[in-house]
Structures are given as C-alpha cells and as structure tokens.
Amino acid sequence: MGKPSYLSFDETSYAWKSDIDYRENPGSYRVGKGEQVVLICEPYKSEIGRYWRFKTPEIAQQSSEKIYALFLAYLKDGDFVGADMARKYLQMGYTRSRRYANYKGGRKYDAPDGYRELERGTGDEQKAKSAAIFYDQWKLAEANEVYSAIKKSWKDERG
C-alpha cells in the first residue's frame, strides 16, 4: 500500500473553493462524493462545524441531534447546500468516530515508516458507540424523501 491519497492532493483541480460563499452562490456547489468539501464550504463549515463532536457517546448524541436539526431547518428553508453539508457532517461523525474506534489515537498510517497501515482494533470502544449514533442520524438524513429528491435533481443538473 502506498501513501494516503490526501498527501498528493491538488488544490487547483479541486471543484470547491474556500473563497466562495456557497449560500450566496449555491450554483457553484457540487454534491461530490462522501464528505468532500465539508471542511471548505462556507458559511456552512462555520455554522455546522461548531457542533460536530464525538468524544463520548453522550457528546455524539447531542452533536448528531443538533446537526440533524440543522439539516431539517436547511431543508425547510429550501437551502439544499446547507442540508447536504449537514448530512456530510453526520457522515463524517460516523467515519471519524470509526477511525478512532479502529486505530489508537485515530492514526491509520505510520508516516515515519513509509505510511505503513497501523494495526486495527487498537482504538477506543467509546468511539464505536459514538460512530453508531452518528450512523443512525446520517442514514435518517439520507432517507429523507425531500432531501433525496432534491439531491437527485441537483446532481443531474449540476453534478
């Protein structure tokens, strides 16, 4: 296995830019894959990111509920970009919690040793519980019929 793909990231060819206000310019937003753009897309990064926590299951429960409430509020306001970003934060809550559940300290690769993948199963059991909480909220968001219809239309029209 080689180096993680993020080490050769090419910012110039990335579809999303940190200097765009995606609320004012929603036409510039592309859904992308998985969690793409979640740490770039403003103002949503600032609005949602402040609530994104998964240290304990209790914190994850509060965080995921708040982010899901934001997801619903964005949908109610007709703000698909905000709803999609909230959905991505729920997904990222799951994936990051799983990373910490699987690997001690959340580190998957050993950089000094040629980015060798570290041993799985050395992580924190509490993070596995946090991951399950975020997973349920993420899947609830994805199953929302209004969101799903808008997402399909958005992807068909804009990507």
Tokens representing residue 117 in the block: 């993948």
pLDDT-based confidence at residue 24 (cuts at 50, 70, 90):
very high
**Tens digit of each residue's pLDDT (9 = 90 or more) over 75-108:** 999 999 999 999 999 999 999 999 888 888 777 8
Sequence-ordered alpha helix ranges (H) in 1-144: 44-49, 57-76, 80-102, 125-143
Rounded to the nearest 5 percent, the helix, strand and coil shares of the chain are 60, 5, 35
Where do the structural domains in the chain lie, given as residue ranges?
Answer: 36-158
Asked if the model's pLDDT at residue 14 lies above 70, the reply is: no
